[in-house]
C-alpha cells in the first residue's frame, strides 16, 4: 500500500477524531483545534473542534495562503510553534486573518513515515504554558497516529483479499463485485462494456516438462505482462486455474476484440525465461459485450465462455467473439 494515496477516512475514525479535537479544546482551553490532511492537491480540515470562534470547519478545503501553516507543520520534524502571530513576520497576516494570537501544531505520519497531515491548536492569547501544552498535544498526536496505523493495516489486508496470492491478478470475488458495479453503471448511463475470457493453451505440458513452480512463474509473468498492457480503467482477474478474465468498461465489442488480439499476440511473442530454458505460451480468448436489456454479469461470462470454447475447438491461440444479436452460435 502507498500511504500517500488518497485513502478515505472511515466514518468511525472521523467520529473518534472529532471527539479528540473537542477534548483538546476542552482540556487545553483553546478556541481552535483541528486535524488537517495535507496532499499535493491541497489541505483539507478533516475534523475541527466544535467550539465557538473556531476559524476552521470540518471538511473545509483551505485556500493556499491559509493552508501554508498546516503544510509547514506536516513536513516539520518537530512541533511548529508560533508563540505570537503578531511578532512573527512569517505568520502575522495569517494570525490577523484568523483572529488568533498563537498556534502549536505537530506532524501526523503514516506507519511508513510518509506525511498524512498535522494536528494543531490556536489560541487568542500568546502561548504561555508551552511545555505542558506540548506534552498534551503529543498524547493526542500519538492517539491519531495509532488510528493511522490501524487504517494502514486494514488497507493492506483488503488489498491482499482483493488479489490472487499466486499471480497478483485481482481475485475472483473482486471480479464479481466490480463487474456488477460496472454493469450497473453501464446500464444507467447507456455505456458499452465488454469481457475477455482467457485460458492458457496446453498448460499441463508446461507443468509436466518444467514442474509446477515453473508453471506458477509463467502465470505470474503473463499476469504482469497483461496488467502492463491494459488501461488503468480495465481489470485483470484470475477466475481459477489457468483461466483469467479482463473487464473492459466503456468498451465497444469491436474494440474489445482488438484489445484481446493485441494481448494474445503479445503473450505469443514473449517467451517466459525459466531456469531450464524458455517456454513459449499461447492463450485462447472469448470476447463478449453487453447486448440488449436484462443481461447479467453471469450472462456476459457465459457468452465469453462459449466464444472461448469455440477458439479452443478451432485451433487455439486465437480470439473468438460472441455476437448474440447477429445470431452467431460462436
Q: Which residues pair with 238 in a beta bridge?
A: 244
3 state DSSP class of 202: coil
Catalytic residue among 44, 145, 182, 242: 242
Instruction: Decide if 191 is catalytic.
Output: no
Q: How do 283-289 and 319-321 pair as beta strands? A: parallel
Q: How far apart are CA 81 and CA 78, in angstroms?
A: 9
> What residues have CB less than 8 Å from 26, skipping those under 6 apart?
none
Q: How far apart are CA 102 and CA 126, in angstroms?
A: 5
DSSP labels, 86-135 = TT-TTTHHHHHHHT-SEEEEEEEE-TTS-EEEEEEEEESS----HHHHHH
Q: How far apart are CA 113 and CA 259, in angstroms?
A: 40
Residue recorded with cell 506534552: 135
Q: Catalytic positions, please?
A: 242
Amino acid at each position: 500500500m502507498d500511504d500517500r494515496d488518497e485513502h478515505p477516512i472511515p466514518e468511525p475514525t472521523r467520529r473518534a477524531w472529532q471527539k479528540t479535537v473537542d477534548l483538546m479544546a476542552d482540556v487545553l482551553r483553546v478556541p481552535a483545534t483541528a486535524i488537517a490532511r495535507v496532499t499535493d492537491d491541497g489541505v483539507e480540515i478533516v475534523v475541527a473542534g466544535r467550539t465557538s470562534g473556531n476559524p476552521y470547519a470540518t471538511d473545509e478545503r483551505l485556500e493556499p495562503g491559509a493552508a501554508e501553516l498546516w503544510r509547514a507543520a506536516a513536513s516539520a520534524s518537530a512541533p511548529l510553534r508560533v508563540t505570537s502571530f503578531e511578532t512573527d513576520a512569517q505568520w502575522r497576516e495569517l494570525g490577523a486573518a484568523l483572529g488568533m494570537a498563537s498556534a502549536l501544531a505537530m506532524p501526523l505520519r503514516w506507519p511508513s513515515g510518509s506525511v498524512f497531515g498535522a494536528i494543531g491548536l490556536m489560541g487568542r492569547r500568546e502561548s504561555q504554558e508551552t511545555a505542558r501544552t506540548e506534552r498534551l498535544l503529543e498524547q493526542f498526536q500519538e492517539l491519531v497516529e495509532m488510528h493511522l496505523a490501524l487504517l494502514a493495516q486494514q488497507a493492506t489486508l483488503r488489498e491482499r483479499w482483493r488479489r490472487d496470492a499466486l499471480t497478483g491478478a485481482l481475485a475472483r470475488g473482486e471480479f464479481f463485485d466490480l463487474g456488477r458495479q460496472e454493469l450497473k453503471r453501464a446500464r444507467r448511463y447507456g455505456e458499452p462494456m465488454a469481457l475477455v475470457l482467457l485460458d492458457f493453451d496446453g498448460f499441463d505440458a508446461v507443468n509436466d516438462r518444467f514442474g509446477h513452480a515453473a508453471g506458477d512463474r509463467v502465470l505470474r509473468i503473463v499476469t504482469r505482462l497483461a496488467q502492463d498492457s491494459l488501461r488503468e480503467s480495465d481489470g485483470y482477474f484470475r477466475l481459477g486455474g489457468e483461466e483469467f478474465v479482463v473487464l473492459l468498461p466503456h468498451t465497444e465489442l469491436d474494440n474489445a476484440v482488438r484489445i484481446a488480439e493485441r494481448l494474445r499476440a503479445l503473450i505469443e511473442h514473449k517467451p517466459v525465461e525459466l531456469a531450464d530454458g524458455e517456454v513459449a505460451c499461447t492463450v485462447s480468448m472469448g470476447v463478449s459485450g453487453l447486448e440488449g436489456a436484462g443481461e447479467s454479469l453471469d450472462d456476459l461470462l457465459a457468452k465469453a465462455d462459449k466464444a472461448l470454447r469455440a477458439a479452443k475447438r478451432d485451433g487455439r491461440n486465437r480470439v473468438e467473439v460472441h455476437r448474440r444479436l447477429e445470431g452467431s452460435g460462436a
